[in-house]
Amino acid sequence: MLILGLDPGLGTTGWGVIRADGNRLSHVANGQIRTDPSMQLPRRLALLFGALGEVIRTERPDGAAVEEVLGNSNAQSTLKLGQARGVVLLSASTAGLAIGEYHPSIVKKAVVGTGGADKKQIQAMVGHLLPGVKLSGPDAADALAVAITHAHHLASAQARARRSTGIGA
């Protein structure tokens, strides 16, 4: 299964694609989509939508996972981040992808083992879990961490389903 992880941002949206085969994970691709802060908001959102559509057409994922937004003290920044996240969700949904959504602390705990991990720890663990990965930047690393989290959650759900039906027990 190919999973597209997305770390929404108006200035930079990270994306990463992994292949999940049971508990085996491998890196497929990753990148960052940047928008120019001098452009008007509607244009930036349209560019983000178009670029994500191209990533989805090129990589052909089976599903997607998106990090949830944390608010901050600047309401305007939080609102713009929420609008970018809406575009990210719309892009994946329009492509017909099932979407998992994860709080940042869940992603950190799934990848690093603690919900308070910093960006350097996430990057290090992504490199460990996906040997040979060349990261396009910290937002791409975060997106790959979201994809890894989704893969773990899917594997756990499948294992629970097998146990409850007695298949493979």
Q: Crossing angle of helices 138-165/119-129, nearest 10°?
A: 60
| CATH code for position 144 | 3.30.420.10
- Residue 101 annotated as part of some ligand binding site: no
According to the model, what pLDDT value does residue 23 have? 83
pLDDT in tens, 42-51: 999 999 999 9
This prediction has a pTM of 0.92
Give rounded-to-5 percent helix, strand, coil for the chain.
50, 20, 25
Q: Are strands 2-7 and 63-67 parallel, antiparallel or unpaired?
A: parallel
The C-alpha atoms of residue 148 and residue 11 are separated, in whole angstroms, by: 23
41, two tokens: 């908001």
Q: Are strands 12-21 and 2-7 parallel, antiparallel or unpaired?
A: antiparallel
Number of domains in the chain: 1
Range of the domain at 102: 2-165
Task: Confirm whether 139 is a catalytic residue.
Answer: yes
- Residue 21 annotated as part of some ligand binding site: no
